[in-house]
Amino acid sequence: MQKKVFVQGLILATVLIVPLLLNYMGHPFYLDLATRLCILAIAAVGLNLILGYGGMISFGHAAYLGLGAYAVGIPAHHWLYGGMDVIATTNGFVQFGLALLVSGIFALLTGLICLKVKGVYFIMITMAFAQMVYYLFISIAEYGGDDGLVIDTRSEFPLVNFDDATQLFTICAVSLFFVMWLVWRISKSQFGMVLAGIKGNEQRMIAMGYNTFAYKLAAYVISGMICGFSGALLGNFTTFISPEMIDWARSGELMFMVILGGVATTFGPLLGAITFIILEEVLSTITIYWHLPFGLLLIGVVMFVKGGLSALIPKAEDKE
């Protein structure tokens, strides 16, 4: 037990402290990289709730990143250029609230349809909905169409300043830890147990008297909202949103992180995101075909490391 806690603590401390140290020593680049890492890891944690714990393989979670980012960008855009007074603001609470609301509603509405089907059909429908969002934003000229939308002003919160890279990073890292804790808590809860039961044998759960559709939908909405939150942070980080963020390849990358790191684990999505960011950074400097070794790595891990990268963390002695 001790060893497991130690390794996990070490991972979290490294994610938080090393980028800050490197930044302090004059390498702000690594702070940027770590900020992006934390934001993507939050989305991966969100996806893991349904993909890992719930066994619902969504291929459309980049849509929520996009919705979250546009929920920051569109109010900021109107605040600067006028129009749409109702949402024109740079207030962070409103923007983040909007991000959660919009992604939650989108998850609810699409979930009502997606969750009626299973397996490959579920994968295809989630992807189709994400592509609809993609083409929607491409078609809206006011928000830049496929050129994307520049966010001139970041979200404004009292006490913290998102324009300060160190503060933005710290917020992202702390948010990540919070979301990891949140999903861990949910997975251990009564709801989490039902979700695991549905993943294991949905028919039996129905026969026991569970309205499995409602439980899956709840998980789907929570998952979407976490990714929407991640998207709002991403918008603040990049200060530029383009529909490309919603492309199905981005959804694939999120799946990659979750599966590489280890599905249905607390640290899996984080480890997957770390590996993804590092490899992308290292490999893309060597070759433009960096996706190839990437794919090989995923195949290797899936075939030879049962339970993904997080299985390499020492196991706790006792289960509870």
Partner 1 sequence: MTALLSVSQLNKFYGGVHASDDLNLEVQTGELHAVIGPNGAGKTTLISQLSGNVFPDSGTISFDGIDVTHMVEHARPHLGIARTYQITSLINSMSVIENLQLAIQAKQGHSFKFWKPSADNKDARTAAHEYAARVNLGSRADIQVANLSHGEQRRLEVAMALASDARLLLLDEPLAGLGPEEASEMITLLKTLKGQQTIVLIEHDMDAVFTLADRISVMVYGHIIATGDPNHIRQNQDVQHAYLGED
| 293 alpha carbon, distance to own chain's centre | 23
Minimum distance from CB of 267 to partner 1 (Å)?
19
Which residue, 211 or 287, has its beta carbon nearer to partner 1? 211
Footprint on residues 145-174 left by partner 1 (CB under 8 A):
none
Query: Is residue 320 a contact residue for partner 1 (CB under 8 A)?
Result: yes
Minimum distance from CB of 100 to partner 1 (Å)?
16
Minimum distance from CB of 195 to partner 1 (Å)?
9
Q: What is the radius of gyration, based on Cα positions, of the chain?
A: 19
Q: Which DSSP letter does residue 1 get?
A: -
Other C-beta atoms within 10 Å of 17: how many? 11
Which residue, 104 or 145, has its beta carbon nearer to partner 1? 104
Would you say 227 and 64 are in contact if contact means Cβ atoms under 8 Å apart?
A: yes
Please tell me the distance from the alpha carbon of residue 117 to that of residue 139, in angstroms, as a whole number: 29
Task: Report the SS3 class of residue 184.
Answer: helix
Minimum distance from CB of 120 to partner 1 (Å)?
22
**Token pair for residue 304?**
């030879």
Minimum distance from CB of 243 to partner 1 (Å)?
33
Which residue, 3 or 188, has its beta carbon nearer to partner 1? 188
Which residue, 171 or 227, has its beta carbon nearer to partner 1? 227
Say which amino acid occupies 124.
M
Which residue, 2 or 190, has its beta carbon nearer to partner 1? 190
Which residue, 193 or 282, has its beta carbon nearer to partner 1? 193
Query: Is residue 221 a contact residue for partner 1 (CB under 8 A)?
Result: no
266 φ, ψ to 5°?
-75, -40
Binding range to partner 1, per CB under 8 A, among 4-12, 136-144, 183-191, 237-245: 183-191
Minimum distance from CB of 314 to partner 1 (Å)?
21
Q: Of 12, 15, 33, 52, which Cα lies nearest the Cα of 255?
A: 52
Please tell me the distance from the alpha carbon of residue 228 to that of residue 215, in angstroms, as a whole number: 20
Q: Of 236, 74, 258, which Cα lies nearest the Cα of 155?
A: 236
152 φ, ψ to 5°?
-75, -35
What is the residue whose two structure tokens read 């706790």? 316
The number of residues in the chain equals 320
Minimum distance from CB of 68 to partner 1 (Å)?
21
Minimum distance from CB of 185 to partner 1 (Å)?
6
Query: Is residue 185 a contact residue for partner 1 (CB under 8 A)?
Result: yes
The strand pairing partners of 156, in sequence order, are 91, 161
**Token pair for residue 270?**
């984080």
Footprint on residues 186-215 left by partner 1 (CB under 8 A):
186, 188-194, 196-197, 199-201, 203-212, 215
Task: Report the SS3 class of residue 241.
Answer: strand
Minimum distance from CB of 178 to partner 1 (Å)?
14
Which residue, 34 or 49, has its beta carbon nearer to partner 1? 49
Which residue, 96 or 215, has its beta carbon nearer to partner 1? 215
Q: Is 144 left (phi over 0), alpha (psi -120 to 50) or beta?
A: left
Count, residues near partner 1 per rule CB under 8 A: 27
Which residue, 76 or 194, has its beta carbon nearer to partner 1? 194
Q: Given the rule CB under 8 A, which residues bind partner 1?
A: 185-186, 188-194, 196-197, 199-201, 203-212, 215, 218, 320
